[in-house]
Structure 1
Amino acid sequence: MLLRNSLRALAATGLVLGAFTVSAGSASAAGKDAWLTNGEFGLFCFQNQNESVFDLYSSDSNFIDDYFGGSKSCYNQITNDQTESYWNLDTYEWSVHTDWNGGGSDGYLAAGYKGNASFTFKNTISSAYYVN
């Protein structure tokens, strides 16, 4: 994890200039700041990557204490079990899980993948992990 974060810190300095921002916040590949930037994995409260975003820079085993950011209708709502779409702007594959701590059903999203959650994952995602 330390090596991964060190490499990401180096990469982030070059990626911030080309960052895609979704909503208000600070443009940095830091995660959980309501900006989806290169090097992050974003979960959205509505389909087609609409409304508020929850952006991850590193794995999160439990979304119960995480909230959607930005200024859209899902602002400040708990992320747990409220995700309808995602966008992987990371260079790593990510896995999403329907239970905390990587439990339940799991799905894998390749680097660059953007799409809506399937029936299995729509409004049931509770944790996510980067896969190296």
Structure 2
Amino acid sequence: MSRSTTHRLGALATIAVATAGLLIGTTTSAAADFKDGVLETNEFGLYYNSGLGGCVFDVYDSDSDFSNDKFKGSCSGSGQTTNDNTASYWNRDNVFDYYVYTDANYRGSWGTIPSGYSGDASSTFKNEISATNS
């Protein structure tokens, strides 16, 4: 093996290790940011008030029971439980629809929130949502 080939292989190995480390770091921090009270791209947000007002509860994937979740931040609804306490929502996921349920463990009445959709909850779901999944 020539010296330049060995040098290239070493450089490629270094790049691969650095890239893997970057991806692991990015994945870990992204996964740790959901339920932080900040609605980001690819998350689903449930708002305390109508019109996307008040605090937001943000999820990245699914949550089968909101009874242990609370709104965070210094906004209307802060510290209140998310369970049966949301009036509007915004699906900021670019691909997936989200499903909301009126009872924990994906039971009760359910509805679909399409990718990119935001709005006020209907009378069936206003202050009745207890679970969501994508």
Q: Same fold by TM-score, threshold 0.5 exceeded?
A: yes
Instruction: Supply the distance in 1 between the matched residues of 2:51 and 2:75 (Cα, whole angstroms).
Output: 14
Task: Kindly indicate whether residue 105 of structure 2 is the aligned counterpart of residue 105 of structure 1.
Answer: no
**How much has 1:67 moved relative to structure 2?**
0.5
Query: For 1:28-85, what per-residue CA distance to the aligned partner results, in whole angstroms no more than 9, with x for missing partners?
Result: 5631011000010000010010010000011000000000112102111100000000
Normalised TM-score (structure 1):
0.76
Stretches (4+) displaced over 6 A: none
Task: Kindly indicate whether residue 85 of structure 2 is the aligned counterpart of residue 119 of structure 1.
Answer: no
Q: What is the aligned partner in structure 1 of residue 68 from structure 2?
A: 65
Q: What is the aligned partner in structure 2 of residue 43 from structure 1?
A: 46
Supply the AA of the counterpart residue of 2:101. Answer: H
Which structure has greater helix proportion? 2
Normalised TM-score (structure 2):
0.75
What is the correspondence of 1:20-99 to structure 2 with a 5 Å cutoff? 30-90=33-93, 91-99=95-103
Instruction: Supply the distance in 1 between the matched residues of 2:97 and 2:45 (Cα, whole angstroms).
Output: 12
Identity of aligned residues (%): 48
Instruction: Supply the distance in 2 between the matched residues of 1:70 and 1:88 (Cα, whole angstroms).
Output: 20
Unpaired runs of at least 5, structure 2: 1-22
Instruction: Supply the distance in 1 between the matched residues of 2:104 and 2:79 (Cα, whole angstroms).
Output: 20
Q: Secondary structure at the match of 1:83?
A: coil
RMSD: 1.6
